[in-house]
Amino acid sequence: MEKKIMIAGAGSAMGQALLKKLLDGGHEVYTTSRGDMEEKGSRHHHASLNILESDFPEGFLPESLDGMVYMPGTINLKPFKALKPEVFLEDFQINVMGAVKAIQKIQKKLKTGSSVVMFSTVAVQQGMPYHASIAASKGAVEGLVRTLAAELAPTVRVNAIAPSLTDTPLSERMINTEDKLKAMKERHPLKEIGRPDDMASMIYFLLSEDARWITGQIMHVDGGMSTIKK
Ligand SMILES: NC(=O)c1ccc[n+]([C@@H]2O[C@H](COP(=O)([O-])OP(=O)(O)OC[C@H]3O[C@@H](n4cnc5c(N)ncnc54)[C@H](OP(=O)(O)O)[C@@H]3O)[C@@H](O)[C@H]2O)c1
C-alpha cells in the first residue's frame, strides 16, 4: 500500500538511501534538509529548511502522514575534559530537541497505524571512550522513544535504530585511511562497518506493516557490536 512518509534531515547519506528505497517502493516522500535537493520524480517533494529553526512552507505537507523519520545527528568525539558544556547543549539541540520539534509539528497528521523512527547510536548500549556528549543525547532519544511509544500507542508506533560505525560523511574522519578503515572493520564481530543501505532497510521495515507489532524498541544495526564480544 502506498504510504506518505516525511524524512527530516534527508541530506544525510542514510536519508538519501532511505529516500531511494521509499520511491522505488512506490511511496510518496516529503523531505527537508538545510541544503537544496533536486526532487527525484513526481512523488518526491522537498523543502530546504533547518527543521530545528523553521516551519514547513504553507501547504507543503499532505493532510495526513503514514510515517516520519528524524535523521539529524552529530558526532563530537573528545575526551570528557575537553568537551565543553556548549557541545553537550548543541548535541542535545540537534539530536533531541530537533526530534521533539519535528514530531510536535507533524503529530496531528499521523494516521492510525503510522510509524515514527528516530536515531540512537551503539555508544548508548556500550560505553565507549570520548562519546560522553553524543551518548548523553542519544540516551535521551532512547528515553523519548519509549515514552512516546507508550503515550501514542495504539495509534502510532515509535522506534529508533542504533547504528554502529557507518560509512557516511559524519564518520568520514574515523575511516579516512586504509589503516583506520581496517581497524574499524576489525572491531566489529561481523568484520565490516555499516552501509547507509543497512540503516535504510531497517527503517523501511519499521515504517511498513511488517513491523505492525513493534513499538518502543531500539533496533541495534551494528554488526554485532553492542552484544557480542569475540
Ligand atoms: N554514521 C555513523 O557512523 C552513525 C553512527 C551512529 C548513529 N548515527 C546517526 O545516524 C543519523 C544519520 O547520520 P549520517 O551518518 O547519515 O550522517 P550525515 O550523512 O553526515 O548526515 C548528517 C545529518 O545531520 C543533520 N545535521 C547535521 N548538523 C546539523 C545542524 N547543525 N542542524 C541541523 N541538522 C544537522 C543533517 O541534516 P541536513 O539534511 O539538513 O544536512 C543530516 O540529516 C544521525 O542521527 C547520526 O547521529 C550515525
Average pLDDT value for residue range 59-69: 97
pLDDT given at position 67: 98
CATH 3.40.50.720 fits domain 4-221: yes
Q: Which atom of ligand 1 is nearest to the CA of 163?
A: 6
Q: How many Cα atoms are found within 13 Å in the side-chain-facing hemisphere of 127?
A: 1
The three cell numbers locating residue 151: 503515550
Q: Which atom of ligand 1 is nearest to the CA of 70?
A: 45
Please check whether residue 148 is in contact with residue 116, taking contact to mean a CB–CB distance below 8 angstroms: yes
Share of the chain above pLDDT 70, in %: 100
State the amino acid at position 225 in one-letter form: M
- Which helix (H) or strand (E) element contains residue 44? strand 44-48
Indicate the top mutation candidate among 12, 90, 128, 141 to test ligand 1's pocket, ranked by most ligand atoms within 8 A of CB.
12
Average pLDDT value for residue range 24-38: 97
Whole-number Å distance, alpha carbon 68 to ligand 1 midpoint, is: 16
11, 76, 14, 34: which is closest to 203 by C-alpha?
Answer: 14
Under the phi-then-psi rule, with left for phi > 0, alpha for psi from -120 to 50, and beta for the rest, what region is 218?
A: beta
pLDDT given at position 230: 81
Residues 6+ apart with CB under 8 A from 160: 117, 118, 119, 120, 141, 142, 145, 217, 218, 219
Residue pLDDT, tens place only, 102-151? 999 999 999 999 999 999 999 999 999 999 999 999 999 999 999 999 99
- Which helix (H) or strand (E) element contains residue 67? strand 65-70
Whole-number Å distance, alpha carbon 168 to ligand 1 midpoint, is: 9
pLDDT given at position 1: 84
Q: Does residue 121 have its Cβ closer than 6 Å to ligand 1?
A: yes
State the amino acid at position 30 in one-letter form: Y
Residue pLDDT, tens place only, 155-193? 999 999 999 999 999 999 999 999 999 999 999 999 999
How many other C-beta atoms are found inside a 10 Å radius of the C-beta of residue 39? 11
Distance CA 8, CA 6 (A): 7
3-class SS of residue 78: coil
pLDDT at 30 over 90: yes
214 falls in which pLDDT band (50, 70, 90)? very high
State the amino acid at position 90 in one-letter form: E
Distance CA 183, CA 161 (A): 24
Residue in this structure with the C-alpha cell 558526532, named with its chain if needed:
75
Whole-number Å distance, alpha carbon 86 to ligand 1 midpoint, is: 19
Angle, alpha carbons 161-167-169 (nearest 5°): 100
